[in-house]
Amino acid sequence: MPEGHTVHRVARQLAQDLVGRRLAVSSPQGRFAAGAARIDGQVLVSADAVGKHLFCTFESGDVLRVHLGLYGAWDFFGSLTPLTPGGFAVGSMGAPRLRRAVRMGEGEQERAIGEAFPPEPVGQVRVRLASEDTVADLRGPAACEVLDPDGAAAVIARLGPDPASTDDLAAAGEVMVARLTSRNVAVGQLLMDQSVVAGIGNIYRAELLFRARLDPHTPGRRVPADVARALWDDWAVLLAEGIRAGAIVTREDADPDERFWVYHRTGLPCRVSGTPVVVEQMAGRALYWCPVCQV
């Protein structure tokens, strides 16, 4: 499942290349025809991420909310602005002659496509946002709906704090600490609860817990406040780096193939203790952890 850093990168790509433009909005697949018609022809005012939710606000106040779920992804075509200088999201040279597209989902990748612009929709495209120069195609989301401002605010109110969506990192962290330490639920489950803290998925959960040397079965009420606060601080750092790099990296200066401490390393020796990494199901997902380091 795409985690918080991916959704923030999608929001930033939309903000750079589609915000401020009047968009043609359609549903090539047909499943979102009514919602697309409601915002078609409007100017996109803003694109923001909170946790794993994307909120695209249009001039009428209507908000397109998207949650990618397990399989959703955005495909961008046309004139694209790199999110970082020298990045690979290179757009057209002499638009609209398309050179490259960027897929922003669980794994970002470049892929060559044809020269025609706008490209014909390929596969089950739920919604297409199109300006004269840039197209964004959404496919496979878990949620895609148009809300009024109150509806969008209600969704956000149900979410926990997101380090990349707040102006007061310390205050937001205290909200997360209070919610986590007041529950008699395993911390490994609480970190996946989007009402406790927003944006953490399966990879970040495993890596944050290992970096904190915290047993994932520890009830939230038994997690010291300073440890919970350290989890928040670490999450803020890892999220910012994920947004910058476009990838989850939790081992600094490690080779790309060695970027995780425990995630997806079942049976392999822990990088610290040498004990085999174990995996179990928690909160409906596979949890990787070291039974020696995380005690």
Quote the CA–CA distance of 239 and 208 in Å, as a whole number: 11
Whether 92 has a pLDDT exceeding 70, the answer reads no
Give me the half-sphere count of Cα atoms (radius 13 Å) on the Cβ side of residue 25: 24
Q: Residue 134: phi, psi to the nearest 5?
A: -135, 140
Whether 240 has a pLDDT exceeding 80, the answer reads yes
Lowest mean pLDDT among 77-86, 109-118, 189-198: 109-118
Question: What confidence category does residue 84 fall into, taking pLDDT thresholds of 50, 70 and 90?
Answer: confident
Contacts of 122 (CB under 8 A, 6+ apart): none
What's the average model confidence in pLDDT over 209-218?
98
Q: Where in the chain is the domain with CATH 1.10.8.50?
A: 162-289
* pLDDT at residue number 107: 53
- CB burial of 72-103 (b: ≥16 within 10 Å; e: otherwise) equals bbbbbbbbbeebeeeeebebbeeebebbbbbb
* pLDDT at residue number 115: 58
SS3 14: helix
Neighbours of 140 (CB within 10 A): 17
Whether 46 has a pLDDT exceeding 60, the answer reads yes
Convert the pLDDT of each residue in 243-269 to its tens digit: 998 889 999 877 878 999 999 999 999
Quote the CA–CA distance of 182 and 161 in Å, as a whole number: 16
What's the average model confidence in pLDDT over 156-163?
98
* pLDDT at residue number 95: 22
Which residue(s) pair with 67 in the sheet?
Answer: 53, 143
Convert the pLDDT of each residue in 168-191 to its tens digit: 999 999 999 999 999 999 999 999
Quote the CA–CA distance of 60 and 189 in Å, as a whole number: 39
Q: Where in the chain is the domain with CATH 3.20.190.10?
A: 4-156
CATH: 1.10.8.50, 3.40.50.450, 3.40.50.20, 3.40.50.410. Which one for 162-289? 1.10.8.50
What is the residue type of 92? S
Q: What is the mean pLDDT of the chain?
A: 90
Which residue(s) pair with 110 in the sheet?
Answer: 102
Quote the CA–CA distance of 41 and 130 in Å, as a whole number: 10
Quote the CA–CA distance of 3 and 199 in Å, as a whole number: 6
What's the average model confidence in pLDDT over 39-62?
98
| pTM of structure | 0.90
Contacts of 164 (CB under 8 A, 6+ apart): 4, 8, 49, 199, 236, 239, 240, 243
Quote the CA–CA distance of 205 and 287 in Å, as a whole number: 8
Quote the CA–CA distance of 130 and 134 in Å, as a whole number: 6
Whether 90 has a pLDDT exceeding 50, the answer reads no
SS3 149: helix
Tell the CATH topology of 4-156: N-terminal domain of MutM-like DNA repair proteins (3.20.190)
Strands 53-58 and 134-139, sheet pairing: unpaired
Question: What confidence category does residue 117 fall into, taking pLDDT thresholds of 50, 70 and 90?
Answer: confident
Contacts of 36 (CB under 8 A, 6+ apart): 25, 26, 27, 127, 128
DSSP string, 186-222: BHHHHTT-TTTSSS--HHHHHHHHHHTT--TTSBGGG
* pLDDT at residue number 122: 82
Catalytic residues: 2-3, 52, 285
* pLDDT at residue number 242: 92
Whether 99 has a pLDDT exceeding 70, the answer reads no
* pLDDT at residue number 87: 57
* pLDDT at residue number 254: 77
Whether 97 has a pLDDT exceeding 90, the answer reads no
Question: What confidence category does residue 7 fall into, taking pLDDT thresholds of 50, 70 and 90?
Answer: very high
* pLDDT at residue number 118: 87
